[in-house]
């Protein structure tokens, strides 16, 4: 077995999902975030959005799925955990019915610290960037 990092800069994977009203309501139930922005259509008609929007964190969660998928794609025997996300931004609203594509791209591999850095980008069906973040994966050496 080897303790070599399983990624190369430029490795990438995507995950696509349409955000439904059910997704938003289930996410609200799980998190307890029942903000008017997500639940109250009449209130939202009075805002610049004109309709309900999905939770930013729900949209961002698709990037977490992509993070898992790139690890599966790499087929590494080294265990890893999410070390966190930096520079998370919600750059455009996500509306019910939007189809989002989360792309995870390896931008740096630190063999010494056993960390990889990934760029997370979530676009809607109009190719508008909705979420962006940097993700850090921390790997653990395999004991010999």
What are the sequence ranges of the domains in the chain?
Answer: 12-139
Over residues 14-61, the pLDDT tens digits come to: 999 999 999 999 999 999 999 999 999 999 999 999 999 999 999 999
**Confidence (pTM):** 0.92
Give the fold, CATH level 3, of 12-139.
Thiol Ester Dehydrase; Chain A (3.10.129)
Contacts of residue 126, Cβ cutoff 8 Å, sequence gap at least 6: none
89: left (phi > 0), else alpha (psi -120 to 50), else beta?
Answer: beta
Tokens 């399983």 map to which residue?
A: 6
91-139 pLDDT, tens digit per residue, is: 999 999 999 999 999 999 999 999 999 999 999 999 999 999 999 999 9
* Cβ–Cβ under 8 Å, residues 120 and 133: yes
């Amino acid at each position: 077995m080897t303790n070599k990092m399983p990624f190369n800069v430029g490795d990438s994977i995507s995950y696509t999902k349409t955000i439904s009203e059910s997704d938003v309501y289930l996410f609200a139930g799980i998190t307890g975030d029942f903000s008017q922005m997500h639940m109250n259509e009449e209130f939202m008609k009075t805002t610049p959005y004109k309709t309900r929007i999905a939770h930013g964190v729900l949209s961002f969660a698709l990037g977490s799925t992509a993070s898992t998928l790139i690890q599966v794609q790499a087929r590494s025997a080294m265990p890893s955990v999410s070390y966190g996300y930096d520079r998370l931004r919600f750059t455009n609203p996500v509306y019910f019915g939007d189809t989002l594509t989360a792309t995870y791209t390896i931008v740096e591999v630190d063999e010494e610290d056993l960390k990889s850095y990934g760029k997370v980008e979530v676009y809607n069906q109009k190719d508008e960037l909705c979420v962006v973040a940097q993700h850090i994966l921390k790997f653990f050496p395999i004991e010999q």
